[in-house]
Amino acid sequence: MKVIQCKDYDAVSQQAANEVEALLRQRPDAVLGLATGSTPIGLYEALVERHRQNGLDFSRVTTFNLDEYYPISPQNDQSYHFFMWKHLFGSVNIDPQRVHIPKGDAEDPDAACLAYEEALAAAGGIDLQILGIGNNGHIAFNEPAEYLRAATHRAQLTEDTIEANARFFDRPEDVPREAISMGMGSILKARRILLLACGEKKRRAVEEMLSGKITTQLPASFLNLHPDAILITDLEL
Ligand code: PGA
């Protein structure tokens, strides 16, 4: 995996925005895979800035988000749907018809998972996938486990992740315990992957991933199998 080391969070965000911008200038109808969480917020701010200042155009871009809590309404301000409109989609000229986020309010979540994989395939796959990494090495909601799932699926969150997410909810009982998540196969099919990892909390997971040992106990380690995965980090490794 290629590693780009940056001096701080802002530099990581700008570097990631450079990659996205280069792709969109070359291919205005690119398919982007997008992530939520605190890490990509700086990237999304940079993209909004470039849209406003330099006319970076999202009108023909298609997006697929990695995951969404289940069950959750898209109107809930803790949903990933809400997050994406707040931090990116609401401030750029994206066509809402080209935005895909797993449906946290799907009546039949299994059918929604299948439909998501079909939509990914119909769009021709992801050109550039943005990823964060969990403190426990998870990627999207592919949590450390005895086995991982290849395709979009309904995922049980681990206690670690529920705890890490608790800061976003008023009451512990409101923290979702399930999600709909792209699988490791859906992610690894992306033609290029940018993994953003910032802060000391991520050091253990990043170092274990870079050791090159592949284990389902550290889902991010599977990124070592990808021919064009780039880690952008502020960690001195
Ligand atoms: P974070 O989450 O960006 O909020 O650290 C990343 C993740 O859990 O994948």
Full 3-state SS string of 55-106: CCCCCCCEEEECEEEECCCCCCCCCHHHHHHHHCHHHCCCCHHHEECCCCCC
Domain ranges in the chain are 2-233
Q: How much distance in Å is there from the Cα of 197 to the middle of ligand 1?
A: 8
State the catalytic residues.
67, 136, 138, 143
The answer to whether residue 148 scores a pLDDT higher than 90 is yes
Query: In the beta sheet, which residues pair with residue 154?
Result: 180
CB 223 within 8 A of CB 1: yes
Q: Find out whether the beta carbon of 134 lies less than 6 Å from any atom of ligand 1.
A: yes
The answer to whether residue 21 scores a pLDDT higher than 80 is yes
Q: Find out whether the beta carbon of 62 lies less than 6 Å from any atom of ligand 1.
A: no
Q: Find out whether the beta carbon of 38 lies less than 6 Å from any atom of ligand 1.
A: yes
Percent of the chain with pLDDT over 90: 90
What is the pTM (predicted TM-score) of this model? Answer: 0.95
Q: Which of 13, 38, 181 to mutate to test the pocket of ligand 1 (most atoms within 8 A of CB)?
A: 38
pLDDT for residue 197: 98
Q: Residues 66-85: pLDDT tens digits?
A: 999 998 999 999 999 999 99
pLDDT for residue 161: 76
Q: Mean of the per-residue pLDDT values for the chain?
A: 96
pLDDT for residue 157: 85
30-61 burial: b if 16+ Cβ within 10 Å, else e:
bbbbbbbbebbbbbbbbbbebbeeeebebeeb
pLDDT band at 158, cuts 50/70/90? confident
The answer to whether residue 160 scores a pLDDT higher than 80 is no
The answer to whether residue 164 scores a pLDDT higher than 90 is no
Mean pLDDT of 121-135: 97
pLDDT for residue 12: 98
Q: Which of 67, 69, 133, 157 to mutate to test the pocket of ligand 1 (most atoms within 8 A of CB)?
A: 133
Q: Residues 23-52: pLDDT tens digits?
A: 999 999 999 999 999 999 999 999 999 999
**Whole-number Å distance between alpha carbons of 132 and 140:** 8
In the numeric block, the tokens 């995922």 are attached to 155
CB 127 within 8 A of CB 30: yes
CATH code linked to domain 2-233:
3.40.50.1360
